[in-house]
Amino acid sequence: MLETINRLILPQVSSTFAADVDGLFTFINVASAIILLGITVAIIYFSIKYRRKSEDDVTPVIRYNTTLELTWTIVPFILILIVFGWGFRGYIDMRTPPSNAYEIYVTANSFFWQFTYPNGVQTTDELYVPAGRPVKLIMQSRDVIHSFFVPDFRVKQDVLPGRYTMAWFQTLGTGEHIIFCTEYCGTGHSQMDAMVYAIEPEEFDAWLREQRELSEQELPLAVLGRNLYQQQGCAGCHSLDGSPGIGPTFQGLYMNERQFTNGTTRIADAEYLRESIVNPAALINVGYNNIMPSYAHLSDDQVAALIEFIKEIE
Ligand code: CUA
């Protein structure tokens, strides 16, 4: 019965500690409901039973009742101890990753997630993990505070600039689960979602090798640029098909005349694109906000690759 209600109101149970979290949640809810019901019934019953029946009804003076006082002190105290003990045990579980956990670095950016695997492979907004194995996330933000939340895993952890925070989980099997940013971080907060793909461990190893080989191949600049467009999170704000986004679309951008909030205009040539990547705050397109972080950390080759890619989006 409780299990059925939980399934209706809670996300699916997909990690080893999710069921325990739900158990505590249900215990608190049921205990609260029983107490609420008991108090409500008592209030109604007493107000009818002891209502003033005639003009000369006198309220008796009751100073104390030891049995009652002890009951309503000890019962809630026991309930609180249960909730504390249960919660503390769950907290310890969540803060203690097994020593054999597979480690993945997570970088939060406005407004996308980057995942870096031990062999150097990087993905954006797609987290692949080996199903049924403990996975430890070592997380950091490149700008403001974000928060990493996978409802199906009951995992939620703030991600801060300038320091690591940690989360871990072990899935119960293969599956796809949504990741939310759950700390309001700016205009693109609502679009800062990603996916976890829990796949069979053998499949995961093969995927990782394949990604490694792909990244070692020499690629034409424009193809490299397309990969960067995905990996660096450009896709979160700049569409390729003219549809409106947080930033201007890349469609037809190259050699197009741009209007800026300082009243000037300029043709979007390669130099303009380079500047907009490295120092985006310098010129803001009319109709947009100054929210893009600098991409000065990209190498010259990477910037060139992005420009070659943008040139091709007509
Ligand atoms: Cu990142 Cu909200």
Query: Same structural domain for residues 60 and 71?
Result: yes
pLDDT range class, residue 230, cuts 50, 70, 90: confident
Q: How remote is the CA of residue 263 from the centroid of ligand 1, in Å?
A: 32
Query: Same structural domain for residues 230 and 197?
Result: no
Furthest-apart CA pair in the chain: how many Å?
A: 99
pLDDT range class, residue 169, cuts 50, 70, 90: very high
Residue 292, C-beta contacts closer than 8 angstroms, at least 6 positions apart: 237, 247, 280, 281
Q: Hey, what are 49's tokens?
A: 């039973």
Query: Same structural domain for residues 147 and 171?
Result: yes
CATH code of residue 41: 1.10.287.90
pTM (2 d.p.):
0.76
Query: Same structural domain for residues 270 and 286?
Result: yes
Q: What is the pLDDT of residue 197?
A: 97
Q: What is the pLDDT of residue 270?
A: 84
Percent of the residues in the chain that have a pLDDT greater than 70, as a whole number:
100
CA distance 226 to 120: 19
Query: Same structural domain for residues 48 and 122?
Result: no
Query: Same structural domain for residues 119 and 193?
Result: yes
CATH code of residue 232: 1.10.760.10
Query: How many domains is the chain partitioned into structurally?
Result: 3
Eight-state DSSP code of residue 151: G
Query: Same structural domain for residues 71 and 89?
Result: yes
Query: Same structural domain for residues 114 and 166?
Result: yes
Query: Ligand 1 pocket, 112 CB below 6 A?
Result: no
* Boundary of a domain, candidates 184, 200, 215: 215
* Boundary of a domain, candidates 60, 95, 130: 95
Residue 294 confidence (pLDDT) above 80: yes
Residue 179 confidence (pLDDT) above 90: yes
Residue-wise pLDDT for 7-45, tens only, equals 788 899 999 999 999 999 999 999 999 999 999 999 999
Q: In angstroms, what CA-CA distances link 87 with 92, 93, 121, 302?
A: 9, 10, 37, 48
Q: What is the pLDDT of residue 16?
A: 94
Residue 183 confidence (pLDDT) above 90: yes
Query: Same structural domain for residues 242 and 211?
Result: no
Sign, CA dihedral 237-242-248-254, equals positive
Query: Ligand 1 pocket, 125 CB below 6 A?
Result: no
CA distance 177 to 122: 19
Query: Same structural domain for residues 197 and 257?
Result: no
Residue 161 confidence (pLDDT) above 90: yes
CATH code of residue 130: 2.60.40.420
* Boundary of a domain, candidates 215, 245, 265: 215
Query: Ligand 1 pocket, 183 CB below 6 A?
Result: yes
Quick one: which atom of ligand 1 is closest to the CA of 182? Answer: 2
Residue 158 confidence (pLDDT) above 90: yes
Residue 216 confidence (pLDDT) above 80: no
Q: How remote is the CA of residue 57 from the centroid of ligand 1, in Å?
A: 63
Q: How remote is the CA of residue 98 from the centroid of ligand 1, in Å?
A: 28
Q: What is the pLDDT of residue 140?
A: 94
Query: Same structural domain for residues 36 and 135?
Result: no
Query: Same structural domain for residues 61 and 122?
Result: no
pLDDT range class, residue 285, cuts 50, 70, 90: very high
pLDDT range class, residue 52, cuts 50, 70, 90: confident
Residue 141 confidence (pLDDT) above 90: yes
Residue 9, C-beta contacts closer than 8 angstroms, at least 6 positions apart: none
* Out of 28-42, 131-145, 268-282, least confident range: 268-282
Supply the residue whose CA is at minimum distance from atom 1 of ligand 1: 146
pLDDT range class, residue 188, cuts 50, 70, 90: confident
- The residue segments making up the domain with residue 89 are 2-95
Q: How remote is the CA of residue 244 from the centroid of ligand 1, in Å?
A: 20
**What's the rounded mean pLDDT across residues 274-297?**
89
Query: Ligand 1 pocket, 45 CB below 6 A?
Result: no
Report CA dihedral (161, 285, 258, 281) to the nearest 10 degrees.
-40
